[in-house]
Amino acid sequence: MERTNFTHYVFVTGGVISGLGKGITAASLGAVLRSKGQKISMQKLDVYLNVDAGTLRPAEHGECYVTKDGAEADLDLGHYERFLDTEMTQKSSVMSGKLFLKLIEDERAGKYGGEDVQMVPHFTGLIQQTIIEAGEGSDVHIVEIGGTVGDIESTAFMEAIREMALKFPGRCAFAHLVYLPWLGTSKEFKTKPAQNALRDLRSVGIIPDLVLVRSEKPAPTAAAEKIAMFGGIPRESVILLPNARTVYEVPLTLEDHKAGDIIARKLNLKPKKSDVKKWQRVVESATVAYQKTVKIGVVAKYLDNEDTYFSVIEALRSAAWANHVNLKFDWIDAEKIELEGVESLHQYSGLLIPGGFGARGLEGMVQAARFAMDNNVPYLGICLGMQMAVVAAARKAGLANAQTSEVEPLTPDPVIYIMANQKSKELTGGTMRLGNYPCKIKKGSQAEKLYGTHWIEERHRHRYEVNQKYNKFYEQAGMLISGTSPDGSLVEVIEMPELNFFVGTQAHPEFRSRPDRPHPLFNGFVAAAKKG
């Protein structure tokens, strides 16, 4: 495709039910267009009245993704980054609450000059302005609209993108994701929900250029033909998307059905042959059966929704592929370890403790970290997982009351604490470190060997820090502080050099891992687990 001097827009909407994988589909479409030489940007517009995703329950919505500039965002941004191999920004994730807040603040500041402030044109205009600003500098800006068509909350968003197609003729395309249920009693697929979803979309003035049909199992072409006929859409624009062997197969499926070419024609872009060799290699790595399997225990506290740790598992998978091993992982309830002990942990070739907040399950995590220390089991601690390893090390060195002040604010030995210059802000919600921060790695450390450099940058999302007042206890336990902030005041990476692999990081390295390029810490962790 030829590069252009102005931005084109692709709007991705969903129908029938939520949770169909709209984010993965949108990201895959972006990957296909990028493979055709286009500069792609992406954005998620969510209909929730929250200002950002930081206050959403992980048990319901999955992980809170963090961008490099500190936005707390929907997990779909993780899909965007992994599929496009780029970094999103605060402009990439917008919720209704953030827009309404700006609208009201502008009205209070008199920016509307006494006008009646209404959903149309003021709120819809703000949505459009947000889309346009986020897409600046891109050839194609892909916008995923959260929720499903017909939701009360999404009405203004649908109107906004409908108007954009009128304002920018020839520069807007629409892709709609629907669901095709299978009825086991009658042994047939039912197209009626998809037809209704398309009718709902037409009722708001939008006719999709591409219809993507999700199903649990492969559906017959007759189903696609029926959806095309009743939806008034060309048959070639209806693409069946049954469950894939791996999510990274979706770009190949879209390319096989020429989804990129369909969008290119709609946007008046000259087509160019795609280069999807990268995705072919990824899918081959993800689906081959390797001779060896590593079994990882993930000791966690949010187990109601596995998507809570989506990026962690994707990082583990990519590391397993790079090390040519099959990955088997079990979720281990940290509270169960508190009650039953660590005996069940002997079966794992590696233990990983991810991030989290609050007191629940922390003692179980401390016990798991201590088990890894005492039994030389490869260990990777992420954020909270690093902090619990520090608590375990301090107790091992004889500091029996070592604790995090998140659990016991008045503990006599707060090895994890809020620094003095942050305490005045403790109740304001402004104490978290969010986004990318630099880190100085100790020369000759295992961390330096893993990263291949002594200066790194990683993403953060936390409030509490390691208290260096107790450094002598960490050292007595065999723990080395191998990474700090440039001024040395904040602990970023710890390790136990005498063990095969015991590394903790205050950051969230999972956010920077890619399917074809695993993060160094995950890669090293799986490599150590492989050695057994």
pLDDT in tens, 247-271: 999 999 999 999 999 999 999 998 7
The whole-angstrom separation of Cα 164 and Cα 209 is 15
Over residues 25-35, mean pLDDT: 96
DSSP 120-176: IIIIHHHHHHHHHHHHTT-SEEEEEEPS-TT-GGGHHHHHHHHHHHHHSTTSEEEEE
Say if residues 326 and 292 touch (Cβ distance below 8 Å): yes
Whether residue 510 lies in the annotated active site: yes
Question: How is residue 253 written in tokens?
Answer: 């499926």
Residue 4 φ/ψ region, left for φ over 0, alpha for ψ in the -120 to 50 degree band, beta for the rest: beta
Query: Do 242 and 6 meet the contact criterion of CB atoms below 8 Å apart?
Result: no
User: Per-residue pLDDT averaged across 269-287, rounded?
Assistant: 91
- Mean pLDDT value across residues 224-247: 94
Q: Is 421 helix (H, G, I), strand (E, B) or coil?
A: helix
Residue with tokens 């999302």: 461
Residue 445: pLDDT band by 50, 70, 90 thresholds? very high
CB of 350 closer than 8 Å to CB of 379: yes
Nearest to 129 by CA among 98, 151, 175: 98
Question: Could you say which of 314, 406, 492, 510 is catalytic?
Answer: 510
What's the pLDDT band for 430 if we cut at 50, 70, 90?
very low
Residues near 26 by beta carbon (within 8 Å), at least 6 away in sequence: 12, 42, 76, 79, 80, 142, 144, 175
Residue 512 pLDDT exceeds 80: yes
Q: How far is residue 209 CA from its own chain's centroid?
A: 28
Model confidence at 422, pLDDT cuts 50, 70, 90, reads low
DSSP structure class, residue 517: B
Rounded distance between C-alpha atoms, residue 526 and residue 531, angstroms: 9
The 10 Å Cβ neighbour count of residue 344 is: 13
383 tagged catalytic: yes
Q: Which residue(s) pair with 211 in the sheet? A: 176, 238
**For residue 472, how many other CB atoms are within 10 A of its CB?**
12
- Say whether 508 is catalytic: yes
Residue 392: predicted pLDDT? 97
Q: How confident is the model at residue 511 (pLDDT cuts 50, 70, 90)?
A: very high
Give the residue-averaged pLDDT of 312-320: 97
Catalytic residue among 159, 383, 448, 492: 383
> 213 phi and psi, to 5 degrees?
-110, 110
Supply the pLDDT for residue 114. Answer: 84
pLDDT class of 513 with cuts at 50, 70, 90: very high
Q: Which two tokens stand for residue 261?
A: 């070419």
Task: Look at residue 1 and tell me whether its pLDDT is greater than 50.
Answer: no
Q: Determine the average pLDDT of the residues in 12-38.
A: 93
Residue 94 has pLDDT above 50, yes or no: yes
Give the C-alpha separation, 203 to 470, whole Å. Answer: 65
Tell me the pLDDT tens digit for each residue of 386-400: 999 999 999 999 999
The three-state DSSP-derived secondary structure of 425-443 is HCCCCCCCEEEEEEEEECC
Domains and CATH numbers, the chain: 8-282 (3.40.50.300), 291-531 (3.40.50.880)
Instruction: Please count the CA atoms within 13 angstroms of the CA of 285 that sit on its side-chain side.
Output: 20
What percent of the chain lies above the pLDDT cut of 70?
95
The residues, any chain, with a CB within 8 Å of residue 174's CB and separated by 6 or more, are 10, 11, 13, 161, 165, 206, 207, 208, 209, 210
Give tens-digit pLDDT for 188-212. Answer: 899 999 999 999 999 999 999 999 9
Catalytically annotated residue among 8, 79, 460, 508: 508
pLDDT of residue 311: 96
Render pLDDT for 117-148 as a digit per residue (tens, 0 to 9).
Answer: 899 999 999 999 999 999 999 999 999 999 89
Dist. CA 6–CA 17, nearest whole Å: 34
Q: What is the mean pLDDT of the chain?
A: 92
Task: List alpha helices for 53-123, DSSP H.
Answer: 58-61, 76-84, 96-108
List all residues 6 or more positions away from 406 whose beta carbon is below 8 Å from its beta carbon: 357, 358, 359, 416, 463, 464
pLDDT at position 3: 45
pLDDT value for 318: 97
More confident residue, 55 or 283: 283
User: Cα separations (Å) of 253 from 29, 80, 102, 356?
Assistant: 10, 17, 40, 36
Q: Residue 427: is its pLDDT beyond 50?
A: no
Which DSSP category does 119 fall into? I
Report residue 406's pLDDT band, with 50, 70 and 90 as the boundaries: confident
pTM, entire model = 0.92
* DSSP helix/strand/coil, 344: helix
